[in-house]
Amino acid sequence: MGLGDTSVSTEGSAVRINMKSQDSDYSATLGALVTPTITDSQPSFVIGTSDWKISSNIRLADPAFNKPQRVDLLIGASLFYKLLSVGQIVLLPGLPLLQKTRLGWVVTGGFERPRSTSLLAAGRTPNSEASQLDVRLDELFRRFWEIESLEKPKVKATKEGANCEQHFGNNFFRLPSGEYSVRLPLKRSAELLGESYGQGHLRFLSLEQKLGRNSHLKEQYSAFKEFLDLNHMSRSVRAMHQLAFDERDVFPIGSDAIKQEFYVDDLIS
């Protein structure tokens, strides 16, 4: 299947391709289905690049990227992301950007142009079937990038979450070490637990004796305790946010990073 779930006919065979960079010693072997055509020539008309100011020392993977050419190979995502390298150059506003890859620099992204110019350059009329196809493809790609964009999801607050937030605000304090301490919350009154301390204490002592006699169980207990420690970690996110609030005047940049760029215990900044 192709873009928009359109059917793609193949020649009923597959090939193994050894692809090598013209710019470096990078090479990769991949399998591909054989099809009569992948898409129309790309781009659909010659794009003028005289005012793009691409530096002469930039080695493009396709120096003729701005001229209509046949698309010979469509690379899947399993290899595509392995080709990307660190390096990106932003051209003038409204122009595509340059992305460094293991095959050389590539020009990626759209650029602003009047629709009437593109229709005239392609020798089409606005009512032609081909121009309508272009419009549908533009809409399809626009929706694709909207889905893939990493917009911050809107989280709907729950009553339980609001109660937890209120409990934290009313019951936390900071230790001399700089750590935060919060009283454990209870959904209901602690009196409903009854007199369970004595029985629980005896069972704990019994478990401790068993672990002392069985080294294998002791190892398992240590691993389980480590797992529990990691899950305390997940509950410390709220404490991190409190830290960002308390220290925002002293460390404004770090405070913003903690509030906006942490996912559990991973910082992406």
For the chain, the domains span: 3-108, 113-151, 159-187+212-267
Reduced to 3 states (helix: H, G, I; strand: E, B; else coil), residue 92 is: coil
**Choice between 63 and 134, residue whose per-residue pLDDT is larger:** 63
Is residue 27 within 8 A of residue 33, CB to CB? The reply is no
- Residue 23: which residues within 8 A CB-CB, separation 6 or more? 59, 61, 103, 104
Q: Which helix (H) or strand (E) holds 262?
A: strand 262-263
Contact 54, 91 (CB under 8 A): yes
What pLDDT, on the 0 to 100 scale, is given for residue 138?
73
pTM of the model: 0.41
Query: What is the per-residue DSSP string for 151-200?
Result: PPPPPPPPHHHHHHHHHHHHHEEE-TTS-EEEPPP-SS-GGGG-S-HHHH
pLDDT given for residue 147 in this prediction:
61
The predicted-structure confidence for 156-197, as pLDDT tens digits, reads as follows 678 888 888 888 889 999 999 988 999 888 878 878 878 888
pLDDT digits (tens, 9 = 90+) for 68-107: 999 888 888 888 888 999 888 988 888 889 999 999 999 9
CB-CB contact of 123 with 134 (8 Å): no
State residue 3 phi and psi, 5-degree precision: -60, 135
